Amino acid sequence: MKRFVGFVRKEFYHIFRDKRSLFILFGMPIAQILLFGFAITNEINNVNIAILDQSNDVTSKEIINKIASSKHFSIVDIIQKESSIESIFKKGKVKAVLQFENNFGSNLIKEKQATVQILTDATDPNMANTISSYMSSILKKYQQELNRNMNKDYQIVPQNRMVYNAELKSVYMFVPGVMTVILMLVSAMMTSISITREKEQGTMEILLVSPLKPFQVIIGKVFPYIFLSVINAIVIVLLGIFVFNVPVYGSLFLLGIESVLFIITSLALGILISTISATQQTAMMISLMGLMLPTILLSGFIFPISSMPLPLQVISNIIPAKWFIIIVKGIMLKGIGIGFIFKETTILVLMTLLFIGISVKKYKIRLE
């Protein structure tokens, strides 16, 4: 045990003294989550929109004023007829068009209900989604004010319509996705690099000649990464909850256990990579090309698996990240328990055992 502690301490020295490792470990998750969070999704400011007011009455004017005074939108065009909508979108001048139905104001008084159509350019799905929800909330706020002042029960019904890409993805998707990518990156790439570094420097030989058993060497090397990856997972979940208001409906404990499982799967992959690569460069290339790209592209993180061609759908099954994303999404967003993700968990466990098995075999061959 004392030897083990000494070994682990040495590993931490390596990690904390190598600026590159430190950056990948801690800079990357924070940078990525902020990048995905801010640059790619949420907060919108001064988005160009156009108005098509077919009613042109007091109420619609008031709503337009509200929108004009919001910092989120700037009205750059007022169009007169429905046929101009398509051309204005095609020109790319605006991201959204707000269309008031005929007799909007009088409908609201007579029928107690009037419709506004929010048309959004969904070539950027996250943007479109955000625009609709911001717009809807402005409308809703106006409706509440109106009802309070007049003591009535009017309803402004926003109708969302996506132009160009009707199928929208959840904005919450990025937290499970980034978490998966980061855990995979830190665990697999960092371990494979740190093991091959020992090989390259010749220190692995020294360790093998020492009374330490090979499995002690490997466990000693991966242990710090389990620890650091768990911290990373916690940081990502906390950022998700407190910065981006991503809900966690399910059990945090279960999420933790599943994350540790995925970390171990990734570490096993990292060990496997280190047994087949002789240098740090090779290990890094294999990790990036063989793990990172499939994890980002084929796991369902960015591109929905259901809309992939069949061969890719089949391949996606061997990507551990695919199963972990299903698990994390399920726990965080749907609040499901272990019963619903039993299959995915089992698959990850089996994959882990397989990777460890192959590594042990390769390791033995190499020693001979």
Partner 1 sequence: MKDKNVIQVEDLSKMFGDFAAVNSISFHVKAGEIFGFLGANGAGKTTAMKMLIGISSPTSGKATVAGFDVYKEAEFIKKNIGYMSQKFALYDDLTVKENITFFGGIYGLSKKQIDQKRCELVDELGLQEVTNSLVGSLPLGWKQKLAFSVSLLHDPKIVFLDEPTGGVDPITRRQFWEMIYKAAHNGTTIFVTTHYMDEAEYCDRVSIMVNGKIEALDTPKKLKEQYKTDTMNDVFLKLARG
Interface region with partner 1, contact rule CB under 8 A, candidates 53-61, 197-205, 289-297, 303-311: 197-205
Q: Which is nearer to partner 1, 211 or 339 (CB)?
A: 211
Ranges within 269-308 binding partner 1 (CB under 8 A): none
Check binding of 10 to partner 1 (CB under 8 A): yes
73 contacts 29 by C-beta, under 8 angstroms: no
Residue 3 main-chain phi, psi, to 5 deg = -60, -40
Ranges within 212-251 binding partner 1 (CB under 8 A): 212-213
* Whole-angstrom distance, CA of residue 192 vs CA of residue 172: 31
Interface region with partner 1, contact rule CB under 8 A, candidates 13-21, 71-79, 81-89, 134-142: 13-21
The CA distances from residue 313 to 55, 294, 309, 318, 322, in Å, are: 49, 12, 6, 10, 11
Return all residues near 2 (Cβ < 8 A) that are at least 6 apart. none
Q: Which is nearer to partner 1, 211 or 311 (CB)?
A: 211
Check binding of 342 to partner 1 (CB under 8 A): no
Nearest approach in angstroms of CB 207 to partner 1 is 7
Q: Which is nearer to partner 1, 221 or 329 (CB)?
A: 221
Check binding of 7 to partner 1 (CB under 8 A): yes
Q: Residue 36: is it exposed, middle or buried by C-beta count within 10 angstroms (0-12/13-18/19+)?
A: buried
- Which one of 1, 39, 209, 365 is in contact with partner 1 (CB under 8 A)? 209
Check binding of 24 to partner 1 (CB under 8 A): no
Check binding of 66 to partner 1 (CB under 8 A): no
Helix axis angle, 125-150 to 58-69, nearest 10°: 130
CA dihedral sign, ordered 130, 185, 267, 10: negative
Give residues in contact with partner 1 (CB under 8 A): 2-3, 6-7, 9-10, 13-14, 17-18, 201-203, 205-213, 367-368
